[in-house]
With several copies, the nearest count.
Chain A
Amino acid sequence: MAIRTYREAVREALAQEMEHDPRVVLIGEDLCGGQAGSSPLEKNKEALGGVLGVTKGLWTQFGSSRVIDTPITESAIVGMAAGAAVTGLRPVAELMFMDFFGVCHDMLYNQAAKFRYMFGGRAKTPLVIRGMIGAGYSAAAQHSQSPYNIFATTPGLKVVVPSTPYDIKGLLIQSIRDDDPVVFCEHKALYDIKGEVPEESYTIPFGVANYTREGTDVTIIALAAMVHKANAVADKLAKEGISVEVVDPRTISPLDEEGILESVSSTGRVVIVDESAARFGFAHDVAALIASQAFHFLKAPIVMVTPPHTPVPFSPPLEQAWIPSVDRIEAAVRQVMEA
């Protein structure tokens, strides 16, 4: 196995799938950048390779018919990708910051998500929408959100929120091979984390949670950047003899309900950490699942660690207070232990 960053793992997954299947195309703004000027100077240059550097080198390798730079026109990007998906391509469209979904939500919400059902099962829509989520960079209210809850409430969409280089590669390849529309959320705080990643192609199935820590006293359920904070808390409290299990569902639609309920039934104490929202978020969805399906196992009230019901603030001290912190997670675990 090689050591790769989360960013490199994304690029590797894209490159391998593009090699594997000529129907895979990338669509988005500045995926390359340089191809997008018509002056001779720019013609043969890949200037950006994506704002995140994620797609760097892919245009050089696969050319303009596979790596398609677009104008700033998200509805046409997602709509075109959806239309291409039902007619035979396997497009991977990049939204850059997931926050931008607002300008093209219909193409996911009313179109791609519903084709198969509305058409009586006679359509396949193998579409991936990639984008960044997450706060922490003072990118302010319109570039820091994690709206995976809004995607996952929509029947017909699948939603992936990976936390490690290993997971992101396997889940992205799975997403591209999947015949349903997938919203693929990359957390910006994780792009530079490193981990072991097989060089060959592999998939990770949807709906299978990963237990990043095993434990018997408390279950923490967390996603993306929050998994790492939960792990840190588990490691710290282990020294005090508090045994914390950390469950990373990795995909929230489908959700590994069984995996979550099994952990909860063994610990009876639950903390859910979620960066999406103070209301109607992932924490609430999972809390509701547990309160309806595993109620009799619960020994204490469920504790949710979420941001407050406010937009993401710009100023660093406010933003740090907004993001669920290691301290708040630790306090939540102590709280459920005491209840």
Chain B
Amino acid sequence: MSQDKQKLLHAYRKMREIRTFEERLHKENTTGEIPGFIHLYSGEEAIAVGVCEHLSDQDYIGSTHRGHGHCIAKGCDIRGMMAEIFGKETGLCRGKGGSMHIADLSKGMLGANAIVGGAPPLVIGASLTAKTLGTGGVGVSFTGDGGSNQGLVFEAMNMAVVLKLPTIFVFENNGYGEGTGHDYAVGSRDIAGRAAGFGMPSVKVDGTDFFAVHEAVGEAIRRAREGGGPSAIEAIAYRWHGHFEGDPMLYRADGEVERLRAEKDPLKIFRAQLGKQIADAEFDAIDAEVEALVDEAVAKARADSYPPVENLLTDVYVSY
């Protein structure tokens, strides 16, 4: 297989992993076995994967409350993630973090974050480390359209310009923050357009099109690695599920979700784009492998045990 094709199939596999993971959670969540809040990423896969296909473990990302897709794209172990979401000791955070705090620093994943706007200031820190130690790494923050209004984000953007940090600010515009339209909450109705005011370049891309994201981010990352400083990218995609599982979605137009699933499915779009190069059977084989992987992850997560109560008192400080 050509290297290019391998890369394409890898990207597809990652997107499929996210999709299958999320749709399975949507189902499993109804059994009552999953504690806490779940925010699903279905419909936005091309953003996380379009970004992370450029990154290695030396590069760091910072994520949001809707973090599963970013984690998977950045290489977090799917079994460990599923176990974490089930609250089990085998989870990536040993059951202490849960869906909104999955992290794996060894993979360059700085954590989902339940504080909206929390990631960008942290990510510029990872970028500062890269710059100071000369690792060649970059930092990428993911922020929603709703989160784009948080002061933390603007501060991080200005700081990144001032210090010429290798940071990419990715804004995932999925139309809503909870039930509030981005066209209400973003005064200018143009998230990418804010970047110029802070002195950094930006582009707006179709976030359901893997190639559009991949190309735009590639350019930004190249610039960052070369010392050219930060960039912003607004990627427009759609959230298929509720804000959280259980949201009755009264703010949706009739038939909105069905239409999105039919017309704005990043995986379908990807397959259509590559229909000539890659046979359906190859994609389907990946789908089946991923299905099996997620099956196994769920079965294992379900079977694994909860952390022992003694663990309550560990990991507060390095000393205990």
By Cβ-Cβ distance, the 6 closest A-B pairs, closest first, are A83-B125, A79-B121, A37-B181, A33-B179, A314-B98, A120-B94
Q: Distance in Å from the Cβ of A182 to the closest Cβ of chain B? A: 10
Residues of A within 8 A of B121 (CB): 75-76, 78-80, 82-83, 107
Interface residues of A in 70-94 (CB under 8 A from B): 70-89, 91
Closest chain B residue, CB of each to CB of A207 = B319
The docked-state distance in angstroms from the alpha carbon of A158 to that of B320 is: 13
Please tell me if the beta carbons of A38 and B183 are within 8 angstroms of each other in the complex: yes
Encoded as 1 (CB less than 8 Å from any B CB) or 0, chain A from 128 to 156 comes to 00000000011111110000000000011
Bound-state Cα–Cα, A143 to B100, Å: 10
| A310 and B126 contact, CB distance less than 8 A | no
Complex CA distance for A47 and B176, rounded to whole angstroms: 12
Instruction: Give the CA-CA distance A87 to B139 in the complex, in Å.
Output: 11
| B179-A47 in contact (CB<8A) | yes
Using a CB–CB cutoff of 8 Å, the interface residues on chain B facing chain A are 35-37, 60, 62, 87-89, 91-101, 103-106, 110-111, 113-118, 120-126, 128-133, 139, 146-147, 149-152, 155-156, 158-159, 162-163, 176-181, 183-187, 249-251, 253, 306-307, 309, 311-319
Give the tally of cross-chain contacts (CB within 8 A): 308
Using known A-B contacts A33-B251, A79-B156, determine if residue A141 contacts B97 with beta carbons closer than 8 Å: yes
Name B116's closest neighbour in chain A (CB-CB): A72
CB distance from A310 to the nearest CB of B (A): 5
Shortest Cβ gap from B145 to chain A (Å):
9
CA A216 – CA B100 in complex, angstroms? 46
Residue positions of A touching B, CB distance < 8 A: 23, 25, 29-30, 33-39, 41-42, 45-48, 51, 65-66, 68-89, 91, 99-100, 102-103, 106-107, 110-111, 115-124, 137-143, 155-156, 158, 178-180, 308-311, 313-318, 321-322
Residues of B within 8 A of A75 (CB): 121, 151-152, 155
The residue in chain A whose Cβ has the minimal distance to the Cβ of B91 is: A120
Does B110 contact A83, Cβ atoms closer than 8 Å?
yes
8 Å CB contact of B152 from A33, A39, A42, A76: A76
Is there an interface contact between A86 and B158, defined as CB atoms closer than 8 Å? no
Kindly list chain B residues whose C-beta atoms are within 8 Å of the C-beta of A38: 181, 183-184
Contact across chains for A142 and B177 when beta carbons are under 8 A apart: no
The reply to whether A71 and B178 form a contact with Cβ atoms under 8 Å apart is no
5 contacts between A and B (CB under 8 A): A30-B178, A82-B122, A119-B101, A120-B92, A142-B115
Judge whether B105 and A122 touch: CB under 8 Å. yes
A65, A74, A85, A180: the one within 8 Å of B317 (CB): A180
The residue among B104, B251, B318 with the most chain A CB atoms within 10 A of its own CB is: B251
The reply to whether B147 and A118 contact each other, CB–CB distance below 8 Å, is no
Are the CB atoms of A123 and B103 closer together than 8 Å? yes
Listed residue (A45, A75, A87, A91) with the most chain B CB atoms within 10 angstroms of its CB: A87
Task: Give Cα A261 to B232, complex, Å.
Answer: 56
Q: Kindly state the separation between the CA atoms of A81 and B127 in the bound complex, as whole angstroms.
A: 11
By the criterion CB–CB under 8 Å, are A155 and B316 in contact?
yes
Judge whether B159 and A73 touch: CB under 8 Å: yes
Chain B residues, CB < 8 A from A30: 177-180
Most buried by A among B60, B122, B147: B122
**Taking the nearest CB of chain A, how far is it from the CB of B147, in angstroms?**
6
Residue in A29, A103, A119 whose beta carbon sits within 8 Å of that of B111 in the complex: A119
The 8 Å CB contact of B122, one of A73, A111, A313, is A111
Q: Would you call B162 and A80 a contact (CB within 8 A)?
A: no
CA distance A200 to B180 in the complex (A): 33
Least Cβ–Cβ distance between A137 and chain B, in angstroms:
7
- A123 contact set on B, CB distance < 8 A: 103, 105
Q: Which of A70, A73, A124, A317 contacts B151 (CB 8 A)?
A: A73
